[in-house]
Chains A and B, each alone.
Chain A
């Protein structure tokens, strides 16, 4: 491995790649290459060990049974813990977000242990499934423009004291707790309920992950014309009643 190579790890595409979230890997990879970086994208199937020397790890959403299987295999593997210990950046969506927390409700209706990498606990929502476009304001400490995404989940996630909500929703549900929070993050681990995929709707978050991984404050600009056009359209759509 050369020092100039960015190692991008896409965790368990065989289990957690049901809702187009592999787009997040494609967006990070593309935007890194546009900055002249050499990118190694490593897709890790659930019968393979998680490499511990990656720079950015991405986990997507998935259905209930695959989510349980993924949690079992990630707990047994232990590689993601070591990677985070080494300073790796992790970005997770929906089922993947729940897995990174302390626990969630699995497909059998039982409490399933997560990885405890993010101080959140997920339960099953009692109300209607949260489906639709979302608009939110990202934690101002991150200095990022508004969050747009598409949510589709029954889960409700409570953010503990050792994590911060990623955003406050203006339209949509987010964490589903009723307090307007959406997603969670700490220094290096991020979670969100947003699909879309979320990094295609919010390329600035992809750049934020790259900056953290590269330990730089700025990146050369790239042509964001189509991303911006899509953002404007989806932000307008989120404010319309369904």
Chain B
């Protein structure tokens, strides 16, 4: 039980202190929040620090291609109904950032809710002995350097074999089902999957998946969608008893209702009933600036982050209808992946009727993409010009990772 004993050895305490000092120095030097550099220093001094910091906490790990930061926030908020929570709420999701976030824990902390980068999930699970692992979705991301999505699913599957953790997994994503199906204790959630293009090939045998309606199965090996015990149904969460609980979120879109459904299933693992969990989730507003509506040059801009084709598809489904103006910004720096070919996996005809304004380092890639999709667009030098040209009304601004950071900086958010 957390708080009853101090799990940190003298060396671990020194590592935490050194990490915090490094973080403070980094912050003072204007190099961001400092959480990653602090964690790196601390881990170097004590490689087992992460394991030690996790001791005594009921840990939940959250991983996915899309929605892991938001879902981590939703779960953390829900679990606060049961006790104090420590979480890497800022999205620093590799071991150094996670270590740094856990180092902020105090003796009262009972739960740890941790977002983990897909590539580090198994390593972090090994260190932190989680009670629960939430697996939301897997799809193509950062083409120039990402591992194959199927290889990631395989890596998760091997790493989770026989795990003691309760795995909460999306029954509608065949790659997630493959990853989770080596775990003895899985709670399946029908959380939906809009983007299907990474899951036409059976992860088990390579056969072609049949996908009638919401169901899916492999005609060759029998691998198929498991029966879910939780489900997202419109604006409601269906729990295992068949009760429907209304979802009220400040965050928009189907994908976030799916995240809330998975979060409610996780909360139930720790004894928090769905109605309590969902009420608390309402308090989550913008997540690291995402979904925030900001004022800029006298206009309302809603900032939407979309990093990969699945994310763009979900984002197109939540924006206001035409003729709402839309600004698109795409970069291809290191954190984005340097190959922009993925733009061609995004169906831009879904923007029919919207006036579109294009910016970012790779605005010309977007321009050709939109020309071929026969869209009505203008290429702009910067956000100021795009906002000036946009017709009246709230502007939906969709950007990938570093482009989103650039936008937040420009609007002072």
Contact = CB atoms under 8 A, between A and B. Distances in A.
Contacts of B344: 20-23, 26, 197, 200
Contacts of A26: 344, 372-373
Interface in B352-382: 364-365, 367-369, 371-374, 379
A230 B140 contact: no
A230 B343 contact: no
A150 B368 contact: no
A195 interface: yes
> Chain A interface: which size bin?
20 to 34
Interface residues of B, number: 32
Contacts of A17: 197, 345
B367 A152 contact: no
Contacts, number: 93
Contacts of B372: 23, 26-27, 30, 200
A14 B145 CA distance: 21
A156 interface: no
B364 A150 contact: no
Contacts of A18: 140, 143, 198
B341 interface: yes
B339 A19 contact: yes
A215 B89 CA distance: 61
Interface stretch (B45-53, B122-130, B200-208, B256-264): B200-208
Contacts of B206: 65-66, 69
B342 interface: yes
A77 interface: no
Interface in A7-37: 13-15, 17-23, 26-27, 30
B306 to A, nearest CB: 15
B206 to A, nearest CB: 5
Nearest to B140: A18
B368 A21 contact: no
Contacts of B201: 14-15, 46, 66, 69
Interface string B211-251: 00000000000000000000000000000000000000000
Contacts of B338: 131-132
B361 to A, nearest CB: 10
Contacts of A66: 201, 206
B107 interface: no
Nearest to A133: B338
A45 B374 contact: no
B368 A200 contact: yes
Contacts of A171: none
A17 B344 CA distance: 10
Interface string B317-351: 00000000000000000000011111111000000
B208 A19 contact: no
Contacts of A45: 200, 208
B208 A227 contact: no
Nearest to A149: B341
Contacts of A229: 364, 367
A69 B338 CA distance: 28
Given A46-B208, A200-B369, A230-B368, A23 B150 contact: no
Contacts of A21: 341, 344
Contact of A196 (B151, B208, B341, B379): B341
B108 interface: no
Contacts of B385: none
B143 A19 contact: yes
B384 interface: no
B368 A227 contact: yes
Interface in A47-74: 47, 63-66, 69
Interface of A: 13-15, 17-23, 26-27, 30, 45-47, 63-66, 69, 131-132, 150, 152, 195-197, 200, 226-227, 229-230, 233
Interface of B: 140, 143-145, 148, 150-151, 197-198, 200-201, 206-208, 338-345, 364-365, 367-369, 371-374, 379
6 contacts: A23-B372, A63-B148, A131-B339, A132-B338, A152-B143, A200-B365
Q: Which 5 A-B pairs have the closest CB atoms?
A: A20-B341, A23-B344, A14-B200, A20-B344, A47-B208
